[in-house]
Structures are given as structure tokens and as C-alpha cells.
Structure 1
Amino acid sequence: MEIRPDSKQLVELAHYRMPFGKFKGRYLLDLPLPYLVWFKQKGFPEGKLGNYLDMMLTIKDNNLEPIIKKIQKDFPRESS
């Protein structure tokens, strides 16, 4: 079985910003690990944000942040 990540989703995740709260406006990548753990304990929100927060927790737990930083650098978000 071959695992293929969704490249569009990874680029979106790399540029996704927290839409509310104490860390509003920060990239999810820049959220502190304890905050992500707290959020998981309380329950991630439903939808895309919850999925992305869960993915970011997994990424941080496995020390994969350099991959997301490289995606941010190599695939800058187009300005709207």
C-alpha cells in the first residue's frame, strides 16, 4: 500500500492561520505544542480547522516541522 499525501492540502496546512483566540493570526505551525495538546483534550473543533489542528499535533509530536517550514518557503501563498 502506497501512501500519497494530498499536496494541495499540505500547502494549505502550511499557510493556515489560527482564526480566533489567544493565537489568532498565527500559523498553525507556530502554535505551542502544549496548546495543541490542551485543544485535543478539550476536543478539536469540527471541520477543516479541527482536522488541521489534529494534523499539526501529529506533525509536532513526530518532529516534522521542518517539512512544513520547507513547504511554506518553497510554495508561498499567493496573495489574493
Structure 2
Amino acid sequence: MAEEAPLGNPQVLVDLLTYQMPFGKYKGQRLRELPMAYLEWFAQKGFPPGKLGTLLQTLYEIRLNGLDYLLTELERIRR
């Protein structure tokens, strides 16, 4: 019998809409607005530890798999 996949934490998606980049060229910019090239750079060099790294890696996977519309819809609902 197949095991069910864990549901994850939906707060991560909300945080992608509100969390701001704390350093670097894009300091102060919401993670949702970061360009894919920046996320690709992190994917090559390594994501930072902790919550920021988790959020950046999640955003990278969302974009890589063409699921950005999920964040767009969530953003629309939250307004």
C-alpha cells in the first residue's frame, strides 16, 4: 500500500508573498518578485540556511515547474 505524501506547511506559500530579501542586490524586495536568474544562482551555489533558504528553494521549485500561477492566485485571494 502506498504511503500518503506529507501535506507540508501552507504558511510557506504565504511567506513567499510577504517575506523580504534581507541582503544583497535585492534587499527589501519581496521574495515573490525575485528574478529566476537569482534563484538559479542560489541553486548552483547553495541556498542559505534556515527559513530564508527554505523559502528561496521552494520558490525556485515552484518557478522551475511552472507553478507560479499558484502564488498569483493566492495573492489575489489575500487582497
Unpaired runs of at least 5, structure 2: none
Task: Give yes or no for the alignment of 1:28 onto 2:14.
Answer: no
**Which of 60, 63, 67 is residue 60 of structure 1 equivalent to?**
63
Partner of 1:19: 22
Deviates more, 1:53-62 or 1:26-35: 26-35
The amino acid of 2:7's aligned partner reads R
Deviations 1:39-73 (A, max 9, x none): 12111110000011100100110111121122123
Matched length: 76
Partner of 1:8: 11
Unpaired runs of at least 5, structure 1: none
Partner of 1:43: 46
What is the identity percentage for the equivalent residue pairs of Structure 1 and Structure 2? 41
Q: TM-score, normalised by structure 1?
A: 0.80
2:57 and 2:40 mapped to 1: Cα distance? 9
Deviates more, 1:45-54 or 1:4-13: 4-13
Deviations 1:9-36 (A, max 9, x none): 2212222121111111212121111111
2:53 and 2:74 mapped to 1: Cα distance? 21
The amino acid of 1:4's aligned partner reads L
Structure number with higher relative contact order (C-alpha < 8 Å, ≥ 6 residues apart): 1
Larger radius of gyration: 2
> Would you identify which runs of 4 or more consecutive aligned residues in structure 1 move more than 4 Å?
none
